[in-house]
Structure 1
Amino acid sequence: MSVAQNTRLGIWLMIVTTIIFAVQDGLSRHLGGTYNVWMVVMLRYWFFAAFVIALVSRAPGGIRAAVRSRMPKVQMLRGVLLALEICVMVLGFVALGLVESHAVFATYPLLIAALSGPILGETVGWRRWLAIGVGFVGVVVILQPGFGVFRVEALIPLAAATMFALYGLLTRYVARTDAALVSFFWTGTTGAVVMTAIGIWHWEPMTGADMGWMALLCLSAASSHWCLIKAYEVAEASAIQPLAYLQLPFASLIGLFVFGEDLRSNVVAGASIVVAAGLFTLWRQYVKSRQRA
């Protein structure tokens, strides 16, 4: 049974999703700076996998239907990529802070556009290539190479953005044959398996207070994905996807007021360039999809 379209509700759900994601990043920054990142992400994935299994078991066909992927190897690669990307991004939060990490990570839509040709065989026109080039000028503005000492840590969120872009492209690839719920199931379970294989060797005892923060992180991970699923159920992706950029200002506010981070002028200028270029590529993608329809 199809769900009635409600763009306004989808917009509000997407805004709530970005707020929860920002809170989730703040919690990850705190816990990742106190405990081993591998263990923190492992515990998060245990709860996430349980949430995915519970959600899928209530869907038509249940878990048996969700397991049946026509591309199981690609699905496993997706799950591994996302789990490792989360680890890399949390390392970026600890090394650089939320403001600068998110400013660089905002390049992922540009990377998706750049890599969609060689990976998915899609055509990328000159306008989008120009936007991609402009976006990476924004990254140069953020990183300021040649001014003072270049921080190698700045490459961490760029690596995370690249991994997330590959994950997004593989998600579009498997969507040609697998239902969204199948991909969701494989994402949660594969990630839990790979993070357990790594994180179990880095176990550390937590204080009572941090166990509470960890529980909140797990709840935020599940609730954010639930809101995201519902947003895409009631509204077209083209209408709400640009709102994903709201995570940048929300996470930056947490970085500034909770963690006492600095907001440098070059980061603001560079992030503005990156976001503008990213929004343009999303708009061009929408225009091309409407022309093909």
Structure 2
Amino acid sequence: MALFLWMSGALASFCILAIGARELSGELTIAQSLCIRSAIGLVFLSAVYFIRSQIFKDKQQKSLASQPRVNVIKLHLFRNVFHFIAQYGWFFGIGLLPLAEVFALEFTVPIWTLLIASFFLDEKVTMNKLIAIFLGTLGVIAIVQPGYALIDYASIIVLGSAICFAISHTTTKSLAKTESPLTILLFMCIVQLPIGLFLSLSSWVWPQGEQWLWLTVIGLSALSAHYCLAKAMKYAEITTIITLDFFRLPLIAMVGVFFYNEAFELPLLIGGALMLIGNLVGVRGLTAKSIKVKQNI
């Protein structure tokens, strides 16, 4: 139950993040948006982290003291370099491609994650996972109905960002074994802030009025999304988490219907149904595995 609650929070937060990115597209440089997002997140998260550390005398920090911190920090750096590249490509795609096409390309992430996790985290590639990913991919194709026009340089960049997201997700899963979600998020802001600042200095323009509102939305929703995702990763394997993430496409499509007057079409229903079936198959495999573990105990 906890897995689905955390994933629901992650899905809602990622949808809000996409809306904010769409509203700011073309108004500020991507690097500047990512820089300010990190700054807002760092201010908010530092306050939360400080309060938490004062109220709860972390048992987790004591256990982390015995860990090889240099290696952990290197892993944080590795994760956030790839995550920054992935976010940059994602924002870039939103500015040049229809939102549905960007999401369709982004949802190749489960395929890349499945391959990367199987090689580097020794996660088993089960039939349930393969079926869930296959049906989810069919759902994406049914909704977007991509054509040959999809293959251009912007699409290649978004596909590259999908691979970087997969590397980032896999590294997050590895970090989640020893690091708290707050620590993962704090490092995300600390590492990505100077990268964004360096890349945006030559074209820096101070945001005005409503732009600050959307930057705040992006900053807080990004924190919420990654916090929920990191918490969810404590309850399931990375490939299961990413499979559940397929729900994000029909959700953002519904946002388009109600807030941007986009057409509600039959392919959306068909694609959503395929994704739902795929997720139910994945959940069934996860539940069966949990029951088996309890019986062995």
With the length of structure 1 as denominator, give the TM-score of the two structures.
0.74
3-state secondary structure, aligned to 1:121:
coil
CA contact (8 A) 1:11 1:231 kept: no
One-letter identity of the residue aligned with 1:171: T
Paired with 1:125 and 1:184, the residues of 2 have a C-alpha distance of: 30
Q: Which shifted more, 62-71 or 84-93?
A: 62-71
- Which string of whole-angstrom CA distances, capped at 9 and with x for unpartnered residues, describes residues 186-220 of structure 1? 22211222222222333124332323332333343
Paired with 2:9 and 2:176, the residues of 1 have a C-alpha distance of: 25
3-state secondary structure, aligned to 2:162:
helix
One-letter identity of the residue aligned with 2:208: T
- The two structures, once aligned, show a CA RMSD in angstroms of 4.0
> Residue 212 and residue 282 in structure 1: after superposition, are their counterparts in 2 closer, same or farther (change >3 A)?
same
- Which string of whole-angstrom CA distances, capped at 9 and with x for unpartnered residues, describes residues 111-158 of structure 1? 32232121222332355445545555556666767x553442344443
CA contact (8 A) 1:134 1:274 kept: yes
Unaligned segments of structure 2, at least 5 residues? none
Unaligned segments of structure 1, at least 5 residues? 1-6
One-letter identity of the residue aligned with 1:18: L
Match of 2:190 in 1: 189
Match of 2:27 in 1: 34
Match of 2:214 in 1: 213
With the length of structure 2 as denominator, give the TM-score of the two structures.
0.73
Paired with 1:148 and 1:110, the residues of 2 have a C-alpha distance of: 21
Paired with 1:23 and 1:214, the residues of 2 have a C-alpha distance of: 12
When the two structures are aligned, how many residues end up with a matched partner? Answer: 282
- Structure-to-structure mapping, 1:1-293, within 5 angstroms: 7=1, 11=4, 14-57=7-50, 58-59=52-53, 60=57, 68=69, 70-129=71-130, 131-132=132-133, 135-136=136-137, 147=147, 149-152=149-152, 153-225=154-226, 228=228, 232=232, 236=235, 241=241, 244-259=245-260, 261=262, 269=270, 273=274, 276-277=277-278, 280-281=281-282, 283-284=284-285, 287-288=288-289, 291=292
Match of 1:4 in 2: none
> Residue 111 and residue 43 in structure 1: after superposition, are their counterparts in 2 closer, same or farther (change >3 A)?
same
Q: Which shifted more, 59-68 or 111-120?
A: 59-68
Paired with 1:173 and 1:219, the residues of 2 have a C-alpha distance of: 24
> Residue 222 and residue 72 in structure 1: after superposition, are their counterparts in 2 closer, same or farther (change >3 A)?
closer
Q: Percent identity?
A: 21
How much does 1:169 deviate? Answer: 0.9
Match of 1:3 in 2: none
How much does 1:54 deviate? Answer: 2.4
> Residue 245 and residue 148 in structure 1: after superposition, are their counterparts in 2 closer, same or farther (change >3 A)?
closer
